[in-house]
Amino acid sequence: MNLESQNHDPIFDEIVKDFGFIPNLAKEMALSPAVLKFYFKGMKFLADSVFTEKEIRLIRLHIATYNDSKYCRSAHHFQLLQLDPKDPDIQRILEKKEPQSDRAKALTLTTRLLIVKKRLSHLQNHSGFGEPGH
């Protein structure tokens, strides 16, 4: 993997500015500059948003569960349990079920729509999309 690639430099500069270093997760994501950028821009957006810490962690858990990322799902699950171990929405999200609270429902639905929209946009930008065999 070439971390010096021009495709990565701007986002790595932002990551170093925010974190002081390049996390291992970013190095792994460097294989796909679009994923790397989407992830860290999304994290920055959440950090700068009006969402509570718990809501941000619910969103992150939902994304990790949606993407079937066992490592991230475990990490976000643990963090949420530290904040509110009795919240039934945490387990429901892990089970890919709709949360009970209206706020958590809205957050997970919006998050899912953004993920799907981003993936569709990525697919449509590749030549041949929509043609037979694609």
Of residues 93, 53, 64, 61, the one with CA closest to residue 77? 61
Q: pTM (2 decimals)?
A: 0.72
> Which structural domain, as residue segments, surrounds residue 23?
1-48
- The pLDDT of residue 44 is 86
Taking phi over 0 as left and psi of -120 to 50 as alpha, with beta for the rest, 11 belongs to alpha
Domain co-membership, 3 together with 27: yes
Establish if 67 belongs to a structural domain: yes
Can you state the percent helix, strand and coil of the chain, rounding each to 5?
A: 65, 0, 35
- The pLDDT of residue 134 is 38
What are the per-10-residue average pLDDT scores of the chain (134 residues)? 57 84 84 82 88 94 90 91 95 96 96 82 55 42
- The pLDDT of residue 132 is 44
Domain co-membership, 12 together with 72: no
Domain boundary among 48, 69, 84: 48
Establish if 59 belongs to a structural domain: yes
Domain co-membership, 59 together with 38: no
Domain co-membership, 30 together with 8: yes
Domain co-membership, 58 together with 118: yes
- The pLDDT of residue 1 is 44
Which string of DSSP letters, residue by residue, matches 74-116?
HHHHHHHHHH-TT-HHHHHHHTT---SSHHHHHHHHHHHHHHH
Domain co-membership, 44 together with 57: no
Enumerate residues 6+ apart whose C-beta is below 8 A from 91. Answer: none
